[in-house]
Every structure is written in C-alpha cells, then in structure tokens.
Structure 1
C-alpha cells in the first residue's frame, strides 16, 4: 500500500479552484481518488476539471457558494449523484480581509469572514453528517489556521472565524465519534497562495520581512505541503484521529 492511499475514495472539496484547494484536488485525483469539488469561481473550476479529465483522472466540478444554504444543498446532492456516498469532505473555502486593527476593519469584512469561513463550514458539515450517518461513517476535514490557535493581530475577524472552526471541529468530533464519523482540522500558517499574496501585497517591505522572519524556517509554506498532509488525513492511516488540529507552520507556534 502506498503512503496516504486514497484510491477510489469519494472526496468532496470546497474552494477547490485555487490555492491549497487546487493543489489538494490535483494531488488526490493523481492518487486515484474520485474528487468532486466546488468553488465560487466557476471559470477557474471548470478549467481545472477539464485539465484533470484530459489526464484521465476522475473529477467533477460544480459551482458553489458556501454562504448560501440552497447552493450548499445542491452541491452535495450533485456530489452524491455523481460518485455515490461521501468518504471524506474537505471544507476548504475561505476568505481573508485587509490587515488592520479592529477599529479599522469594516463590519462588512467581519461579516464576510464569518459567513464564508465559519457559517459556510457549518452548512457543509450538516450535509456531510447527514450523508455519513446514512452510509455508516466518514471523515470531515476543516481548513482552519494558526490564526485560530492563538491571537491574530491585524487579522482579528479572520482569526475569530478560524477559532470558531476549531471549536466546531472539536465539538462535532465528540458528538459523532460513536457514529464512525471523524472530524479534524488543518491549521496552516502563511502559505504561498493567491489569498496570502493578496494580504502581503498590502504590506510594506518591512512588514513582509517581519512576517517571514517570525517563522523559524524563514519561509512561507508551500500549498503542496499542506495538500500532502490533507492527503494523509484522507487516508485510512489517520483512522484513530479525531477532534484534533494538524498545525503546519514551520515552527511558528512551537
């Protein structure tokens, strides 16, 4: 058996058209999983799916707005209709906001972060739990962040949403452990993704240097590094793990 064997597993991913989500879709499909993924960016999602289908991989894309409960329901119904019951659900869709102290963060940015990063996970988890209860079990993986494990100055709204994701992960893991449903979180630090690049584009050179220097490894993470950890979680090798957060931060929180 190869490491992180996900062969024939039906894995559903939100926010799969870019960043960590895209790299995870690519990696899992390459390892012969059946990947159904969604994203608000329909054009990017369809392009990624077409590229992977040309390689003979088993993927399907469906447009998704995780803040809209009807969109979420339609997405998961389509996922089940396409590949059958869901083995693993990865809730990856997320947004950020312009770095600023709390008084300078518009309320609209706070509400958007909560809507996408936390309420969206809530909606998706309800669909996943319903299917997994009926099918006899499964694994839910939520994308949180190191910003959800400690204070996150300048990104307080984002940090609040990720603290919520970790709390939700722990609570639901306990509630459904006897139903053979596992729930874990993944907590990356700054990773080289379009979202992080957007945040850093609003920083001056000193702020960027400080951000990188704070990491003992003196670099940003790579999205493929996070995808590899997610692949392990998707495999049966993680079968005794639930209610925990896998931190991938280059030693930042050590």
Structure 2
C-alpha cells in the first residue's frame, strides 16, 4: 500500500467529509420541514473494495455507513437518506484512467473491460443518464419507502430494481 497520508486526507476530505458537511448544512432544514431526500454518490468500490486505491474504497465505504446512520437518525422526521453506488461513468475523469492505478494511460478498451467486471450484466462504462435514472428513482414517489439504501446505479440498478 503506497498511498501517502496526504492522498488519504485528500480523498477522505472530498468523498466522506464533504458529504457529511453537505448533510449537516441541509438536514436541520429538512427535519424542521419534516420532508426531504438526500442521495449521496458513493461507488461500487464502497460495496466491494477497490484494489490499488484503498483510500477511495475506504471513503466510499465510510459514505455508505454515514448514509445508513443518518437515515436512522432522521427517518422519523420523514427525511430519507440513500446512496447510489455506480461503477465507471462516462466522464472525462474515467477516461483519464484514474480508476486504474498502476496502469498509466489505459486505453478505452482496457477501461471498458475493467468496468464490465463490476456488473452482473454485459455493461461497460455507464452513461451519466443511467446513474441519474437511479437517483430519480430514489427521490421519486416510487422510492418513498427506501431509506438507508446503498443501491447500484445504472444498468444493474435497472435490472435489479425495475427502474424505468
């Protein structure tokens, strides 16, 4: 494990503390209104680990724990807190290969191949719209009884949860 302390801090600050700070900012208002939904953007790495980037995996696991804990705290106030856990999403950051440590400048085909390993379906890198559909499900009336969930986002989410 070659991650430096600074790299640990940077990833935890953004991926865990950033989400906690955002929740702290909005939850008092949601609890007061007795209404609200938060959907955090975790990762499949937060459900199964992430080789080569343990700081990222730990941050995303922590985010799921945060979501589950806060959901229990605010549920009686009709506030729901969930997370989506997509795999590789079609963004510039994905194509830069940051998710494949130890592989400088991976090809699109290599990234697609790795992405397919995270799915039960033959799905590679997901379009952002698929992840948005998973979020929309969680904030919709169809998801009104879900809280404390860490749902896969995108293609597999649709297959497992019947998302339109």
Q: Sort the TM-score into its range (normalised by shorter chain).
A: 0.7 to 0.9
- Matches of 1:228 and 1:109 in 2, distance apart? 32
- Matches of 2:136 and 2:116 in 1, distance apart? 29
1:99-146 CA-partner distances (Å, limit 9, x unpaired)? xxx22x232221111001100111110111111122122111111101
1:248 deviates by: 2.6
TM-score (norm 1): 0.54
Say if 1:146 and 1:249, in contact at 8 Å, map to a contact too: no
The answer to whether 1:211 aligns with 2:79 is: no
Say if 1:145 and 1:186, in contact at 8 Å, map to a contact too: yes
- Matches of 1:180 and 1:212 in 2, distance apart? 36
- Matches of 2:31 and 2:48 in 1, distance apart? 33
Indicate the structure with greater helix content.
2
Unaligned runs of 5+ in 2: none
TM-score (norm 2): 0.81
Question: Which stretches of structure 1, 4 residues or more, deviate above 3 A after TM superposition?
Answer: 200-210
Q: Which residue of 2 aligns with 1:145?
A: 43
Unaligned runs of 5+ in 1: 1-101
Say if 2:116 and 2:125, in contact at 8 Å, map to a contact too: no
1:212 deviates by: 3.8
Report the RMSD for the aligned CA atoms in angstroms: 2.2
- Matches of 1:149 and 1:172 in 2, distance apart? 18
CA change 1:153–1:134 in 2 (3 A) is: same
1:179 deviates by: 1.0
Q: Which residue of 2 aligns with 1:228?
A: 133
Say if 1:128 and 1:140, in contact at 8 Å, map to a contact too: no
- Matches of 2:28 and 2:116 in 1, distance apart? 44
Mapping 1:20-169, distance limit 5 Å = 102-103=1-2, 105-169=3-67
Indicate the structure with greater strand content.
1
CA change 1:202–1:232 in 2 (3 A) is: same
For 1:183, what is the secondary structure of its paired residue?
strand
1:154 deviates by: 1.2
Say if 2:90 and 2:127, in contact at 8 Å, map to a contact too: yes
